[in-house]
Structure 1
Amino acid sequence: MGSVFGKETVKEPPFEVILQRNTGKTPYELRKYGTRYAASVEYASDDTSTPFGTLAKYIGVFGTPQNEGSTSIAMTAPVVMEQEPTAIAMTAPVVMESDGKMKKMMFMLPVEYDDLAKIPKPTNPAVHIEEIPSEVGAVHRYNGIFNTKINREKAKEMGAQLISDQVPGITEEFVLENFQFWGYNPPFTIPYFRRNEVWLKLNDEQVNYLKDKFPNTSEGRLRGGSSSASMNGRTMFTFGFCGLVVGAFAVGFIFRSKSQYRRL
């Protein structure tokens, strides 16, 4: 039931918080991540259920894992979605939108998969394994529902704060072309308890500028990783579904009780 109320029961990659900016209109923090690996799927529509299902099958959420060796892989967070379509290199076959652009969804892989040779090879050719180099970026966290429009607005708000902070090279166009949405909760989590984030990768010049401008907001603390309990994907979905049923029953009981009270 915890996942319905936003309790995070899966691991996320460890990161270092190197700066927190909480005094502006839109709060954000700078995070540094080490090298990570992810399973990714490209898709050409706003139907995010299809790539999510494909990736879930790869790690074994639904039935036998679709990878060589049928290895179950622990569910991790966040699920990453590129919000602005980006041009991709031609391969065959490729399903493309009329403008020749695709979006991408990624599942971050557990930290024990720290080398490509250790990662189970997908049996579905639509799934790709990617190495994500160490990087630093600005992150804004928010709750509630999410969709493309809301995610873009949140990215614009963070971008406006970065522009207000006079970070070199930041424009609204740059933000909207490069931000990612990161989701940490199952689809059935109550919106108020969701953890949603928008991420924008920054270069060394931008990071050093912020560290010099706000020297008293640096933290240097490690977070993520082992701070969360690990569950495999199927367990997470099972517990979440049970929680949803219990929650729906409780809401129904309260509603019926109030209705009976009004009739008295």
Structure 2
Amino acid sequence: MGSVFGVVSEETPSYTLLYKDPDNSFEIRSYAARVAVSCRSPTRASTSSSVGTENDASERGRFFMKLASYIGVMGAPQNVENAPIAMTAPVVTRHGRSEMQFILPEDKSAPTSPAPAPAPALAAQGVHVIDRPAKVFAVRTFSGGWGRDAFEQERDSLLASLKQEQKNGTRNFSFTIAEPLYYEEYRYNPPWTMAPLRTNEVAVEVRWNEHEG
């Protein structure tokens, strides 16, 4: 029942909070490198939207099922070790390409316990284990729907807040929005969670600098 009401009980990636906007419109977070399992379409690449659009809902569902098969959510795990792997949150979709990722539990990022490769049949369907490099993101949290319009509106609001912050008074840090623009969409809840209680985030990559004094 907790998931219906927006309770997030899964492991989430740890991060260092670098800055929190006084108006609570965004945070700047430093994420360490992690390992993820990814599913992408080799036949589609978008320059304007991600798999998280209204029109791509069916593809998003297919990607989710393939990734869920890898970790063993609904049956025998489809990886070469037949090892069940815990679900984490959020589910990540990437701007600019038709791709979804599950960030794997932290212990699967350790050299002593690497993530198993997908079973050959699943790998043939575009599922791969990948490295997520360390990055700094400006993150805006919101609730509600998952469609393209919602995420693009929140992205634009975040970008406006970042540009305004850059105009503010002298601080002991500075940041620039990474170019080319790169952002990710984070969904923390299952589809049956009531929309007003969902935790969604849009994350824009930034370059962070701290200054002396």
TM-score, normalising length from structure 1?
Answer: 0.66
Determine if contact 2:37/2:130 at 8 Å carries over to the other structure: yes
Matches of residues 57-206 of structure 1 in structure 2 within 5 Å?
57-85=69-97, 103-115=98-110, 118-123=114-119, 124-125=122-123, 126-166=126-166, 169-170=176-177, 174-175=180-181, 178-203=182-207
Letter in 2 for 1:150: A
Structure 1 position 155, deviation (Å) = 0.5
- 2:27 corresponds in structure 1 to 29
Looking at structure 1, the residues matched to 134 and 94 of structure 2 have their Cα atoms a distance apart, in angstroms, of: 18
More strand by share: 2
Deviations 1:37-92 (A, max 9, x none): 1000113361210111110100001211100121100000111001333xxxxxxx
Q: Secondary structure at the match of 1:37?
A: strand
- 2:68 corresponds in structure 1 to 56
Letter in 2 for 1:188: W
Looking at structure 2, the residues matched to 115 and 129 of structure 1 have their Cα atoms a distance apart, in angstroms, of: 14
Looking at structure 2, the residues matched to 22 and 84 of structure 1 have their Cα atoms a distance apart, in angstroms, of: 31
Letter in 2 for 1:106: Q
CA RMSD of aligned residues (A): 2.1
Q: Which runs of 5 or more structure 1 residues have no equivalent in the other structure?
A: 86-102, 216-264
TM-score, normalising length from structure 2?
Answer: 0.80
Looking at structure 2, the residues matched to 150 and 84 of structure 1 have their Cα atoms a distance apart, in angstroms, of: 17
Structure 1 position 174, deviation (Å) = 4.9
Structure 1 position 115, deviation (Å) = 3.5
Letter in 2 for 1:156: D
Letter in 1 for 2:114: K
Letter in 2 for 1:74: A
Q: Which runs of 5 or more structure 2 residues have no equivalent in the other structure?
A: 45-50, 167-173
More helix by share: 1
Determine if contact 1:80/1:183 at 8 Å carries over to the other structure: yes
**Higher-Rg member (1/2):** 1
Looking at structure 1, the residues matched to 139 and 177 of structure 2 have their Cα atoms a distance apart, in angstroms, of: 14
Determine if contact 1:83/1:148 at 8 Å carries over to the other structure: no
Letter in 1 for 2:103: M
Deviations 1:202-249 (A, max 9, x none): 12xxx22xx66xx9xxxxxxxxxxxxxxxxxxxxxxxxxxxxxxxxxx
Select the structure with the greater relative contact order (CA < 8 A; seq sep ≥ 6): 1
Letter in 2 for 1:77: A
Q: Which stretch of the first structure deviates more once superposed, 122-131 or 40-49?
A: 40-49
Give structure 1 regions of 4+ aligned residues with deviation exceeding 4 angstroms: none
Q: Secondary structure at the match of 1:27?
A: coil
Structure 1 position 114, deviation (Å) = 1.9
Looking at structure 2, the residues matched to 32 and 104 of structure 1 have their Cα atoms a distance apart, in angstroms, of: 22
